[in-house]
Structures are given as structure tokens and as C-alpha cells.
Amino acid sequence: VLDCTGCQNLLVEPLFWYWSDRFYAHNWRIRYYPHAHEGHISLYLELDRSSAVDAAGDVKFKFSLLDQSGNPVPKFTRATTKPCSFEGLSSHHGFRDFIRWKDLEESGCLKDDAFTIQCDVAFTTDLGGSTTNDAAAPATAAVPPPPPATNPHEHLITDILWKHKRWVDVTIDVGGEATFDAHGWLLAARSPVLEAELLAASSKEKKSAAGAAHRRIEIQGVDPKVFKAEEEDAMAMAQGLLAAADRFKLDRLKLVCEETLSRRIDVSTAAGTLAVAEQHGCGALKAACLEFMARPGNLAAVMETEGYDKAKAGIASVVLTEVFLKQAARMI
């Protein structure tokens, strides 16, 4: 990320920002020309060969103007359309007409003569020399299926109680958009968090036909759409239910969701699933994602996806440390 401050009055002389990628042992720099081409800002990515151990191989990259919240502005994001080869001394690639100063001033991203540019770099050739065309099958690491119920009749009993709604004494209100009737004793047996919610619920609610207190608990922070998702949208359903299971300590449901998500790890889902695993402490699911991303060609492909852009803030450090270390270990 480049913070450009006090640069508007500079002439055509370039400014440079330097950084090193720790795992490929290359030093990079970005050339920033404030007024190099007809009122445009020019940006170039350059490989500094002074301390690099070998060639950088093929690289894709993009520059993004960030808004005041730190998010890339799609209109002012420029990306390479094909891999760039950084061969030869001081080889560089970039955009002569990245953005006009007039457009920058009108974008709302320029404040006090300062703006921020983000540079994303993806290696299309990994440590082992494989390219993104070699994207691997899903990783072998998998989340084990949840253990079977200790009582073989448990699911049958639960199914009967759920379908027939007999003797329900609790209404669950999810975000004010969806309500469900349930049995308090069953909720308390499954979740210590819901048990505490039930104990805290007022006993002065309306009475049922049998004269028992009918309690109502409100649940915030869980998307009601999760409970209405179609079977075809298994990923969204599993991610939403995983969040609920983690919050309410529904351990078996959490394992079911982890196992479901692990079977659907691919290039398009790996980043989002890794972010979910990190957020909810799912060690086995995290390991499955990292194993997949560490396979030859997969990491560069994942970093090109929309899912990676959305999840990047939460998983970038994990990817850089653990995925690259896994790749390096394979070469030892």
C-alpha cells in the first residue's frame, strides 16, 4: 500500500517505494510519476535485481486507488491482462495513464493532497515452477465427518417433535424477520448458550393451552436468510449455520458445517472458506484450505478471484506465512 502525500506539485521526476517479498527473495519497487503523461499519474512495478536470487518468473499485478475507507475503487483499478515476465536488469511493467489528476480530484479519494494506492502481486509461477494452468484438485486434507449420535433414536425423536410442533414452549425470533417454535428442554440440552438465554427469558409470557409458560428469545447477529436458503446454495447455508453453531456452541452442527464446506473447497471458494475458518476457530477446515492453496498453481489462481479480494484483509497474513511455508517445505 502506497501513501502518496504532498505529491501534486511535483514535476515529472519519479518517486519510488520499495518492499521485499520474504518468500521469493525478490526486492520490488514502484515507480510513481505524478505528471509524466498529459495530466495522468503513471505507475510501474519494477523488479530490483540487486539482491534477487533468481528471476521472478511470470507475474500478474494490479494497482487500485483506495477510497477513504481503504477499499479499492473498481473504476480506478488497473490490472495486467496477461502474465508479465520480469527478465533483464530493471525490468518494469505498468500503466502510463493510470488515472488523470482531474478524475482523482473528483473521485473523493484525494484529501489534503494525499491519496493511497494498493498494489497486488500474484505469482503465476510458484516455487516449484508450476503455473496456474496446473491448478490442482481439492486438497487431500479434509474435515472428518461428525461422530454418530450416541442415541440411535435421537434424530427420529427430534424429527417428530420438530414436524408436529407438539408441546412447544419457546418462540425463537431471529433478527425480527423469522420466528421458529421450539422445545425449551431440547434447546437447553443442545446448547449451553441457549440454556442461559432461556433462563434469562421472562416467565411472564403468555400461557400455552397446557398452562405452561411460553418463553420468547431474540437472536441478533444471525442472518435469517440462512434458515431459508435453498439446498442448491449449500455454501451460503453452511457458512451461515457455522457462524450460528459457533456462537451458540452447537458442536455437532459446527462439525457438520465444517465437513460440508471442506468438500466444496476450490479456486473460487478457498479464500472465503479460509476467512470463515479463521473467524470461527475451525482448525481442520483451515488446514484443508491451506493445503489446497499450497498446491502448485492454486495460490495464484485463488488470488485472482473476487472472493480473495473480499476476504484479503482477514487472511492475507495467514496466506503469506503458512501457504508459502508449505510450498517451501515441499522443496526440501
Q: Average pLDDT per run of 10 along the chain, which is 332 residues long?
A: 61 54 62 79 78 57 91 91 69 87 91 86 56 47 56 53 71 80 81 83 55 74 68 76 88 88 88 91 89 81 84 71 63 50
The domain limits of the chain are: 2-123
Q: How many residues does the chain have?
A: 332
pLDDT in the model for residue 103: 92
pLDDT in the model for residue 54: 45
Residues 6+ apart with CB under 8 A from 84: 45, 58, 59, 60, 61, 93
181-184, Cβ contacts within 8 angstroms, sequence gap of 24 or more: 184/215
| Cα→Cα distances 149→3, 111, 145, 160, 246, Å | 56, 59, 12, 16, 19
Contact predicate 214/205, CB 8 Å? yes
Contact predicate 277/265, CB 8 Å? no
The rounded distance, in Å, linking the Cα atoms of 178 and 219 is 10
Find the radius of gyration of the CA atoms of the chain: 26
Task: Compute φ and ψ for 118, nearest 5 degrees.
Answer: -110, 135
251-280 burial code (b ≥16 CB/10 A, e <16): eebbbbbbbbbbeebebbbbbbbbbbbbeb
pLDDT in the model for residue 77: 94
| 2-123, CATH topology level | 2.60.210
Contact predicate 80/60, CB 8 Å? yes
**What's the pTM?**
0.52
